[in-house]
Structure 1
């Protein structure tokens, strides 16, 4: 039985990317690795749509989120957290772990933040150091309007920090054009590579904030990461095999062109949502991202039982609901190395 993966990470990986992990291991300080890291860093700028450096960390996306907090903020800072699902809540959890005071904007799960709510919050607390947002709230499938948030913050001394862990390459995010100060992502979702690499890119204003940050940091010191990256290296041993795989995956994206990658995800998302509606089912997210489609399950249908049946009987893996949505929704990702034929399997099984 052939297996199909429609979870929002890890995602299907191109064959060439898988084969890259079978190549011999290189010494991470050798010239070959220096060249590899330099090439990957340059290719990542294209995907992030930025001229800023992209730091390559051996971690999950959550590690990259924590690195951003500890490098940009100080113990006396105040931040706004947009909480519309499990991963918006994660921003608050990281802040709490480091004693950072945060003001939440609580959004009903499945809905997207109204940018006016953010502006009102900033008017209430003008000393706010950063707004912590999520491009696609992966737990619900909702998309947030990062472009408008950037417009609101452009004349303020407030950083816009965006978790693009699941949405990079699926939903448009123009870091430089939209005035985003920090973008966080990882290797195993839209970038079509294996898990293990966290990614962070900072604007000039964000780098200035790193100079005064007083939060503890060691492994995730981004100033050290940037300094090493400028020499084609990393402060500590990187996941060199995964970086080889990411290099191949980025070649795919460059060949397809980022705008075509975004169009492909939009096309697959639109088709999937259309099929869901045609079956009489209800979408959970009111303003859905192109990363995944979240579907409300009819009364009497246990989502966990459904997921097990689909995986064991048909070889099709969806993602279930998380936290309070567990058993109530399923999430079908159209993310990574997928095409029309894959999505036909996803919606017809």
Structure 2
């Protein structure tokens, strides 16, 4: 059936109707007073969402662009950085850092496992000469459904005294509590197509006063992603380059929706959906890829052992118009990923689990007891 596609992937995520309608309006001049009013409101609400009084800068870029900006504006060639790598995106930030001539040292964990904060502590405490200039962390590792312990790692970075902490919150911002000012995070990057509930195209970077001090002496090349330009123009409620005007319309509407729901309710909803999804997967006798203790509130990765992951995805798409994400790199064909962040509700989880049960039956998966997944999810949702 046309127009019934249901996205259950970690991005792009579903977009609310009122956001779509806002984006359908005719564009206005990006140097107009009317647009400046929208920018002012959006910046104010972004600070609310990030729980910060620091600069929140808006880029016409993906989450990767936001992370690149977050790295190149505060470091110089040859700087020593620690990068946490336990999935595709941690690996990406290591590759990006090497591309800009940084001295990269990785702290790794197997894909599906959380980074060990104590390893960071040991390396940071051993750095008595204070040569480490930044620690780069992926909070929610989208490729595996693992949530890293950002709060503890950040505490060790703060004890170091010199290093900045640069954080990828692309699939955690808007899904889990990230109190930027309370934790003293220096650089926080995210993207519009995740918890923000709008299409891809905007990146966001929060910058602390400590990071701005580093900016003053950083020597990596930058122009379009020079955050100093964005800071200067944001103070005047404008942008240094032509922005995607209609995405700002959508962002304005989405942030109003988020404020109406409230931060505590947003975080509680994502936790409820995560718990319900994982309970359903267990009831269907499908192995989860990440442990409960490291489960991301944005996405659940499943590693089926007696049925092909890509066949599951294919049947879900063909028969039910539900799109699940596949595995990346060496996990391709070995896992599938269920996104439950952004504009996702209890009903969406029940629909996806019901379709998954029917898919497993069609594929001859003998370990499934029909109705078990729905019952497990419904029990969580009823008691949350």
Q: TM-score range by the shorter chain?
A: over 0.9
| 1:79 equivalent among 65, 78, 81 | 81
Is the deviation greater in 115-124 or in 212-221?
Answer: 115-124
1:232 equivalent to 2:234? Answer no
Aligned counterpart, 1:296: 303
1:205 and 1:96 map into 2 onto residues whose CA distance is: 23
| 1:45 equivalent among 41, 44, 47 | 47
2:331 and 2:354 map into 1 onto residues whose CA distance is: 23
- Report Cα offsets for 1:164-214 as digits up to 9, x if no partner: 011111122111111211110011100101110000001110111110110
Aligned-pair distance for 1:304? 2.3
Aligned counterpart, 2:341: 335
| 1:219 equivalent among 203, 219, 224 | 224
Aligned-pair distance for 1:298? 1.6
Aligned counterpart, 1:207: 212
Equivalence map 1:81-160=2 (5 Å): 81-125=83-127, 126-155=130-159, 156-160=161-165
* Alpha carbons 2:124, 2:156 under 8 Å: kept: no
Aligned counterpart, 1:265: 270
1:161 equivalent to 2:163? Answer no
2:143 and 2:58 map into 1 onto residues whose CA distance is: 25
Aligned-pair distance for 1:137? 0.3
Aligned counterpart, 1:305: 311
TM-score scaled to structure 2, two decimals? 0.89
Unaligned runs of 5+ in 1: none
Q: Describe the SS at the equivalent of 2:124.
A: helix
Aligned-pair distance for 1:154? 2.0
* Alpha carbons 1:18, 1:245 under 8 Å: kept: yes
1:135 and 1:95 map into 2 onto residues whose CA distance is: 17
2:157 and 2:84 map into 1 onto residues whose CA distance is: 15
* Alpha carbons 1:60, 1:186 under 8 Å: kept: yes
* Alpha carbons 2:302, 2:336 under 8 Å: kept: yes
* Alpha carbons 1:7, 1:317 under 8 Å: kept: yes
Q: Describe the SS at the equivalent of 1:176.
A: helix
* Alpha carbons 2:85, 2:107 under 8 Å: kept: yes
Aligned-pair distance for 1:30? 0.3
- Report Cα offsets for 1:304-334 as digits up to 9, x if no partner: 2321221111101010110111010110011
* Alpha carbons 1:151, 1:179 under 8 Å: kept: no
Q: Describe the SS at the equivalent of 1:129.
A: strand
Aligned-pair distance for 1:302? 2.7
* Alpha carbons 2:55, 2:206 under 8 Å: kept: yes
What is the Cα-based RMSD across aligned positions, in Å? 1.0
Aligned counterpart, 2:200: 195
Is the deviation greater in 151-160 or in 282-291?
Answer: 151-160
Larger Rg: 2
1:245 equivalent to 2:247? Answer no
- Report Cα offsets for 1:37-63 as digits up to 9, x if no partner: 111111001111111111000000000
2:198 and 2:94 map into 1 onto residues whose CA distance is: 28
Q: Describe the SS at the equivalent of 2:165.
A: strand
TM-score scaled to structure 1, two decimals? 0.98
Unaligned runs of 5+ in 2: 356-384
Is the deviation greater in 121-130 or in 313-322?
Answer: 121-130
1:279 and 1:346 map into 2 onto residues whose CA distance is: 13
Number of aligned residue pairs? 348
Q: Describe the SS at the equivalent of 1:282.
A: coil
